[in-house]
Structure 1
Amino acid sequence: MAKKEPVDKGTKKKADEKVSKSGWLRAAMMFEVLAIREDAARNAMEKHVDALSKEKWVMAYKKDIGKPDRIENPLPNKPQLKEAYSCVSEVECVVQRYEDLISIVMHYGPSSIEILEPNNLTLDLGEAQGILNSVADLVHKFVAAGIGGIVVKT
């Protein structure tokens, strides 16, 4: 079976048009996953990238999933874990709004993200407020789950 190319040329052409004619944003991002088994690392990464690609507001044209690497003593605070597998992927996509990139960061957790185009951004007040409310909502979800929150100074 031939190796699947990481860039879908048809989707990239449509993405290029969205950026040049409609002012969409182009971004590159890296994702990382760590698992005890090699197949689990690869499968988890494939599912994660696939879920992002299926979002209606994301046009992903490059999905390059690397081969999992064996890592010795991956978590220093867990000495009982002697080895694990790390899988890294690079995704390039276009989105219509800056708020969409914020959503990717909050819901898909890339380890890094780079805005490739345009060189300058302008946010209207509604979009800026939407971003702030999305971040506030995420913080409240952490609080409700008992896994975080904001320390109130008294």
Structure 2
Amino acid sequence: MELELEFDEKELLKKGYLKVWMLFEVQSNSYDVTEKALAKHIAAIKKTYDIYILEENLTSIDEVEAGAEFKARNINVLFSQICEITFMLKNYETLVDIVINYGPTSVEIIAPEKITLNMREAQSSLMAVAEMMHKFAAQGIGGIVIKT
């Protein structure tokens, strides 16, 4: 859930919070779907996680030429929208969870310059990635090829 509107960014950094920038993009062959999807996606992040929003920028929807894989299915035009958000959050584990569950196009930890993880935090983050890989494999849409 998005936290209070009034906060001191420097105080949060002193308390160990991370300052993060993320970029999300949605593309669809429907203007209406594009218009609703990204706003709903960002709202879900704000509702699910304890984050302090510093900045949120949602672009207008642009019409873009579809790539070859879409043109092969007779889809020549896509509608694209981008949202950039900058926010503060308490820990690295939560950041990993957001990345895994909401799939930003790009992510950058702006501050602090150095992050220290204890063993439990490091292990938890690694297990989250491993769990995601197993979910993909179970769905038949990914996994790791083991060389023999």
Whether the aligned pair in 2 keeps the contact of 1:15 and 1:61 (CA below 8 Å) is no
User: Sequence identity, in percent?
Assistant: 34
Q: 1:20 to 1:77 in 2, by over 3 A?
A: closer
User: In the alignment, does 2:93 pair up with 1:75?
Assistant: no
SS in 2 for 1:93: strand
Measure how far apart 1:76 and its partner are: 1.4
Whether the aligned pair in 1 keeps the contact of 2:13 and 2:112 (CA below 8 Å) is no
What do the CA deviations read for 1:32-74 (whole angstroms, capped 9, x no partner)? Answer: 00011222112000000100111233333322111110012x1
Equivalent residues in 2 for 1:109-124, closer than 5 Å: 109-124=103-118
Measure how far apart 1:118 and its partner are: 0.6
Looking at structure 2, the residues matched to 118 and 17 of structure 1 have their Cα atoms a distance apart, in angstroms, of: 11
Whether the aligned pair in 1 keeps the contact of 2:51 and 2:88 (CA below 8 Å) is yes
- Give 2:39's aligned amino acid: E
Q: Which residue number in structure 2 is paired with residue 65 of structure 1?
A: 58
CA RMSD of aligned residues (A): 1.8
SS in 2 for 1:151: coil
Looking at structure 2, the residues matched to 105 and 16 of structure 1 have their Cα atoms a distance apart, in angstroms, of: 22
Q: 2:130 aligns with which of 124, 128, 136?
A: 136
What do the CA deviations read for 1:9-40 (whole angstroms, capped 9, x no partner)? Answer: x62x4261552341100101100000112221
Q: Which residue number in structure 2 is paired with residue 6 of structure 1?
A: none
